[in-house]
A and B are shown apart, each in its own frame.
Chain A
């Protein structure tokens, strides 16, 4: 499986006509995790892959240091699932990218993607990047030298997908349905972040395991600062020593810098090589922003960040009249 014929043609036309300078999208990986692919020529379009397994950090390449180096003004075409158009909206609202630098090829009828780690755990004998078919409420996985295996969808879906309520792109220049699967309303039960009863002890156990590889930050499309506070040596805001104290400082600074911006895409958790439950943190923060400020990131490309606007009715704001000023 690569991409449907009509989409394939569209992408080739975009490249051969020179309308876009490259196409960014998902591709098959070596194992059951996808990878990002940047096609600069019509021939390179062959490598794109829309399987629900191919979903590894694509958008981060729009704002990475390497992308910034590319100063050509022609737009980049992006193959974006619905939740990724939400992230694009957020990037547009922050003016991290400009609308005329983007050509959004929306992928409609998204029913969610597979968590490669859940798949690996379910089928440890799996080798290479398997074929995946969607049949009703099951994924049919066909690996190298393996009989096809049917696994219920909810056992493999990424956590972010099971609570997702957007199945169509929020905006696009062109849109194509994903494979032939009939789009369904993806509105399954709203899944609140799992509260952790153990509270602080739970997070101390998690952060103690952090190896400070910075994968969570580097996989985040919204962590695009050229000069990150976490890299600073003079002054060294967060000491490089790995300890519960410093790891906690690292994670909390990272998460708080995303408050009101994070779309809970979960790339941080997917990237973590030691399985820290970082999406839980992200979702908790998203929920707080919603409850405190009624703010939901990524739904308005003109939206202002709740931390950067002044509202006299801010529930946490100072009551000036009461203070007699």
Chain B
């Protein structure tokens, strides 16, 4: 299904969507923006809604794959040990305003958390029935390179609905059964602001897609990379590449596809909570073993891990696990540039 909505009516559409499901939208928050829940009775933030211009600095990953997810509670009562399972997420989650790169990011999360190695219950229950309403990037950010990693500013992979910004209106197109159902339900609401698409809006849509593709500012040739990675693992170059890195987790926590987590028991007195929290391969204690052995004692080795995950181990369906959103470049505290690193790895040619 295709439909068009006038820009000034987007608030009405969101109000309808919020009545139906648990709705999350990207808003400015003083820190570059993130997805927050929008309740039906809340006013739609007019200035803060991030639907055009730059993407939210924190990707929507955290809505479905929370940085902190309680798994179960436990308690010691008079010598008895009891475990309280926590009720699974019940509401259907709708994410409105997901950038196409972040939509593809969920594919990468799915491949691990719903993959053949088993299902992560917390993620599965949040992901169940979720609808990702994407919005194309008319104006890609300063370090975007989605077209180099198989994406597009209006790519549809991973999304259920794609919205295209036509200036005075948004053009909406459903891409999956879930997206079709959601869009039809919105159109069927008594106060629906949707109008049917027509050949003219279709044409403007195609032009907007073409134009945006030319605006993606950065490019990198990944073609030679895989062959180099095949033999570069033991190369000395990784320590050099990581020289400017300060070892924080900003890149991994802002990444729409990083999906490492740690499980911790947070105990107070006789009660405790087992929580799943994000972890980062850039942290020194990442995967450090109980006996003290650290499989990646040097920063260069941790960098190598992230690099191989993005471009080799994490790849699926022939696409890298990097979706080219550019966040790790723009917001790296120490100015490390992933694209520059790809080029330097390729240049090195791998160990002789």
Q: Which residue of A lies closest to B328 (CB)?
A: A273
Complex CA distance for A164 and B2, rounded to whole angstroms: 58
Decide yes or no: A211 and B244 within 8 Å by CB, A56-B335, A274-B31 being known contacts: no
> How many residue pairs between the two chains, A and B, have CB atoms under 8 Å in the bound complex?
136
Complex CA distance for A38 and B330, rounded to whole angstroms: 22
Chain A positions within 8 Å of B329 at CB level: 30-31
Tell me whether B280 and A236 are in contact (CB under 8 A): no
Q: Does B262 sit at the interface, judged by CB under 8 A?
A: yes
Tell me whether A31 and B248 are in contact (CB under 8 A): no
Q: Does A138 sit at the interface, judged by CB under 8 A?
A: no
Chain A positions within 8 Å of B336 at CB level: 35
Count class of interface residues, chain B: 35 or more
Tell me whether B244 and A240 are in contact (CB under 8 A): no
Chain B positions within 8 Å of A209 at CB level: 29-31
Residues of B within 8 A of A (CB): 29-32, 54, 57-58, 67-68, 142-143, 217, 239, 242-244, 246-250, 252-254, 262, 264, 266, 273, 275, 277, 280, 283-285, 298-299, 329-337, 339-340
Chain B positions within 8 Å of A169 at CB level: none
Complex CA distance for A198 and B148, rounded to whole angstroms: 46
Q: Does A60 sit at the interface, judged by CB under 8 A?
A: yes
Complex CA distance for A33 and B331, rounded to whole angstroms: 9
Tell me whether A233 and B285 are in contact (CB under 8 A): yes
Decide yes or no: A66 and B299 within 8 Å by CB, A56-B334, A215-B333 being known contacts: yes
Tell me whether A31 and B334 are in contact (CB under 8 A): no
Complex CA distance for A61 and B163, rounded to whole angstroms: 45
Q: Does A41 sit at the interface, judged by CB under 8 A?
A: no
Q: Contact string, A113-130, partner B, CB cutoff 8 A, digits 1/0? A: 000000010001011000
Decide yes or no: A213 and B340 within 8 Å by CB, A66-B298, A205-B30 being known contacts: no
Q: Which of B249, B250, B298, B334 touches A35 (beta carbons < 8 Å)?
A: B334
Complex CA distance for A210 and B249, rounded to whole angstroms: 12
Q: Which of A57, A239, A240 touches B333 (beta carbons < 8 Å)?
A: A57
Tell me whether A271 and B67 are in contact (CB under 8 A): no
Q: Which of B32, B142, B273 touches A31 (beta carbons < 8 Å)?
A: B142
Q: Which residue of A lies closest to B273 (CB)?
A: A241
